[in-house]
Chain A
Amino acid sequence: MILEVLTPAFSKALLNSLAVSLTAGALSLAIALPLGVFAGLYDFTGKKFFLLSLVLPLLLPSFLLSIGLSNAEINFGLSGLPDFSNVVLIHSAFILPLVFFGSLLSVQKLSEGQLNSARVFGGEWLALVQSMRFTFPTALGIAAFGGLLSLSDPGPGQIFGISVVASEYLQSFSAFYDFSLAFKQIAVVAILVAVLSAPLVWWLSPRLSNLIFSKQHAIRTLPKHSPILPFAFSLVLLVLIIFPFVGLVTPLLDGFPLARAWPEIERTFLNTILFSGAAAIISTSFAFFLAYLVRSQGRTRQFALWLSFFLLSLPPVLSALGFLFFSSQISESYDFLLRSRFTVILSLAFRFLPVSFLFLLRSVNTVSPTWYDSAQVHGVPKLTFFYRVFWPWVRPAVLVTLIATAILATAEVTPALLLRPPGQDSLPVAIFTVMANAPESLVAALCLIYFLGAAGALFLSGSFIRKQTV
């Protein structure tokens, strides 16, 4: 099977994909590691805003950012930039936030005492260097994992004309209608991902477990830092978000076509909320249950982590086509499950289950074992312990997970595109289906509305969660 799949074209695409993954991972690591460490060590003006803003690239489907970047480069006379670097830049926009938040969480584990010792011994510089050394393995692992995730995304490669493996699947599906070849190609890449991710996860798991299962954060007072940090964050946001976004919405300078955009919003609003909201609820509930089950079982937890990484790196088109094929083989009495909006929801929930699981595993493990012991000693029923102690403690994290999963699910187009019941579009699907031939201003208006809605939800949730936590 491997020899059948490894044609010169596929091998070239595979090498390109690996080169993109590697470069995007390295670039994200080079930028996000110091930024994460700085953000963990110091306070600075606008910190909360910058932290939330770094999540913004995750809200947009990659093809929209790619089109935006391409437009912006043409508008600003930069269209001669190499296509490879454009593809790397778009993938970095998605990997960078992962590495950043991983580094931030990691460096927060250092106690004030540890940092002060470094400061006394070698000044602020040594404290920084030691913090980076401490954070580096975790950040490196997350960057490598982010690089692997980019293998399943064909969008940027297609827009910028770089041959990548995910485009090869699409060609097999849609130019040759050869499902068998496409599945074999996916299987070869899945094997490769499994082989590459196994040592990575083996190496990363203890570090990630350490990060995920830390019982408490080191509480520190953060010193204020010079304006260089807001400047650095602004620069990253400018390149990763603002520049492509300007390219996306430039056509609105000729006028905002609200009359044409509004019917699209009206038609898709309910499904957009329903698909992402219900997927987030199902994914979070199931992940919560799983995380609770494996919280104290070392090997199962390790395996669950590996499985999460592996599942996340598989292309979403795989499960969507599986659903499609399966639904046409069985009786129509199951259509309410396999040919309804629920199918889209289920597919999205399955896609983001590993993300919810990773989020919740951390939260579940912050419940101190002494609380369980005390409850047991005093004969508190398990249900009462759950409602009175456990749930109030983990509730903010569950909310964060719910919102994060909903946001990621909104930006994932493939399951909705392939599985939506006739007449049931979501807004990202509508954007996807009109963008080829609609006036540029209409596409720009829809993108802007979608982006503002998602960003608004993100910022509102951020402030709601802060209140809940307080």
Chain B
Amino acid sequence: MTLALFLFTIPALADEVVVYSSVDDVFARPVAELFELKTKIKVKLVPDTEETKSTGLLNRLIAEKNRPQADVFWSGDPVRTAILKSKGITQIYRSPQSRDLPKIYSDPEGHWIGFSARARVLLYNKDALGSLPKPSSLQDLTKPEFKGKVCIANPLFGTTSMHAAALFESMGEKKAKDFFHALTANQVKVVSSNGEVRRRVSSGDCTVGVTDTDDAAEAVREKKPVEVVFPDEKGSGTLIVPNAVVMIKGAPNVENAKKFIDFLLSPEVEKFLAESDAAQMPVRMGVETPSHVRPLNKITPLKVNYAKLGSRLETISANFLKDWVNKNTK
């Protein structure tokens, strides 16, 4: 019995912090290990994956609302943190490290704070493209030459859902709906995740796809015949997707949670994430970026109010995207 209790139960340590993270394990774990090394505070990381559509973590946080296990939620985008805020699962923490971070990527009320970012890019297969013109805008995906050759991830989930909300926010409802209907008419393939978009474009199964910079960077690193385009640089701009971090309301280890959030928002982590395989762009001015990561000030950003995207997504998911996905899946 004693042996069983020893094996099954995990004693809570005084010096630990429980971090739920929808950022991919391969990127989040090295940061957690760096924090452990510096502070001697044990990080219990619970990673999620794009493939599970954040089913595990967000639902876990919602189900655990009355007595949370998590101290911190580190999200790959600010929409999930905004949804947690709307459900009363977050608490305000104004980290001293957030002072020199751009305010546009954070919650005005201080529930969530944005930092290192990815971007939504076009990834195309050079071999499959052949003599076709290079895509440079999201609107190009609706052109006849790309009919049946475009992949996007399911817009009900992940950063694709945030992208859809951002398009509705920036284009207005009518134009955004027209764009999605035009994608349908052009026989877009709706696949399970951004990772799947990367896989299909890399193999030439799709000629062009919309994905995140970290997925695109992985394809480039693996020497697939692909190229990355930041869409609409001469137009409305490319959507920037910052990471976001929140402290969970009723967190069991508040002080350690604050230390972890401070660490995560530090210039050191922004630099670390830029240099890692995640190839993320620091949002803070003056942080050094490696040559393969495009600095944020060299990108035309799509102008959106990040604080509004969560509620926008909730509206369009139920009223439009669900039906659209239904029409575009078999």
Using a CB–CB cutoff of 8 Å, the interface residues on chain A facing chain B are 8-9, 12, 16, 63, 70-71, 74-75, 79, 83-84, 158-159, 161-163, 170-171, 173-177, 179, 274, 278, 317, 321, 324-325, 327-329, 332, 335-336, 339-342, 345, 417-418, 420-424, 430, 432-440, 442
Contact = CB atoms under 8 A, between A and B. Distances in A.
Given A9-B323, A437-B214, A420 B222 contact: no
B58 interface: yes
A433 B8 contact: no
B195 A418 contact: no
Decide if the interface of chain A is mainly helix, strand, loop or mixed. Answer: helix
B51 A174 contact: no
B53 to A, nearest CB: 5
Contacts of B156: 171, 175
Contact of A163 (B218, B222, B326): B326
Given A328-B65, A435-B51, A423 B326 contact: no
Nearest to A66: B192
A417 B24 contact: no
B69 A432 contact: no
Given A163-B326, A329-B66, A424 B157 contact: no
Contacts of A340: 8-10
Nearest to B161: A175
A173 B83 contact: no
Contact of A420 (B46, B65, B67, B87): B46
B218 A439 contact: yes
Contacts of A424: 10
A83 B330 contact: yes
A341 B203 contact: no
A163 B329 contact: yes
B71 to A, nearest CB: 9
Contacts of A175: 53, 156-157, 161, 317, 322
A436 B24 contact: yes
Contacts of A329: 66-67
B199 to A, nearest CB: 8
Contacts of B69: 339, 421-422
A324 B60 contact: yes
Interface residues of B, number: 72
Contact of A177 (B62, B68, B157, B323): B62
Interface string B303-330: 0000000000010011000110010011
Nearest to A75: B203
A341 B194 contact: no
Given A418-B60, A436-B24, 18 more contacts: A9-B323, A71-B199, A161-B192, A176-B317, A176-B318, A177-B87, A324-B63, A329-B66, A336-B8, A339-B69, A417-B52, A421-B69, A422-B18, A422-B20, A422-B45, A430-B25, A432-B51, A439-B218
B25 A321 contact: no
Contacts of A9: 322-323, 326
A428 to B, nearest CB: 12
Nearest to B25: A433
A440 B219 CA distance: 10
B47 A433 contact: yes
A136 to B, nearest CB: 32
B112 to A, nearest CB: 17
A74 B203 contact: yes
Given A9-B323, A424-B10, A434 B63 contact: no
B51 to A, nearest CB: 5
Interface in B85-125: 87
Contacts of A418: 56, 59-60
Nearest to A12: B326
B9 A439 contact: no
B74 to A, nearest CB: 13
A340 B87 CA distance: 26
A340 B19 CA distance: 16
Contact of B59 (A171, A321, A423, A432): A321
